[in-house]
A and B are shown apart, each in its own frame.
Chain A
Amino acid sequence: GIQVEQSPPDLILQEGANSTLRCNFSDSVNNLQWFHQNPWGQLINLFYIPSGTKQNGRLSATTVATERYSLLYISSSQTTDSGVYFCAVPNTGGFKTIFGAGTRLFVKA
């Protein structure tokens, strides 16, 4: 099945800094989602982005499907951005969804 790798695994930022999170996948996909899991465990939808670039406030995402990666950009980070960021893609030839292991972000005040 498809493999999903996220990097970095852990990230510590000073409030106000920018960061880039990466998601690599091993096969073609027709959709990709980015989620933020907050410290209370709720998964929050960030982007549904099979290809191209989208922006939502301080966050933006780019998926280059032909090169099998997606990037999540966080600008002017805030303490409320802390949590775990997951990317998820459909498994090859099935209905299963595969999540990456996540990037754990901590933003210091």
Chain B
Amino acid sequence: GAGVSQSPSNKVTEKGKDVELRCDPISGHTALYWYRQSLGQGLEFLIYFQGNSAPDKSGLPSDRFSAERTGGSVSTLTIQRTQQEDSAVYLCASSLGPSGSNEQFFGPGTRLTVL
């Protein structure tokens, strides 16, 4: 596609439920990043993918959070047993990766609300 896309744009869930957030990077971008942005705050790094591998998962806040990437393209961020503190905007970015520029391009985000 022309840009990074994310779905859903909004997700409201009840505490304790699992959610899946999807990111579709720019075609040809091998690097993919997930971030979290709480209301009025800066961006918090969660995880980095190069191809299907995740060499840096250091930002995942707990073992309830996991992510995968298949076919070197689409990525899914899964949050299990959601808590109210998980409410935030989840942003995805992609870049060309090690063989090219590291300039990151962001999707529109998924706004997650945990009731």
Interface positions of A (Cβ within 8 A of B): 31, 33, 35, 41-43, 45, 48, 86, 88, 90, 94-102
Contact = CB atoms under 8 A, between A and B. Distances in A.
Contacts, number: 52
A99 B91 CA distance: 13
Q: Interface SS of chain B: helix, strand, loop or mixed?
A: strand
Interface residues of B, number: 24
Contact of A43 (B44, B102, B103, B106): B106
A45 B45 CA distance: 17
B109 interface: yes
Interface of B: 33, 35, 41-45, 48, 50, 55-56, 58-59, 89, 91, 93, 101-106, 108-109
Given A33-B103, A33-B104, A95-B48, A43 B42 contact: no
Nearest to A102: B42
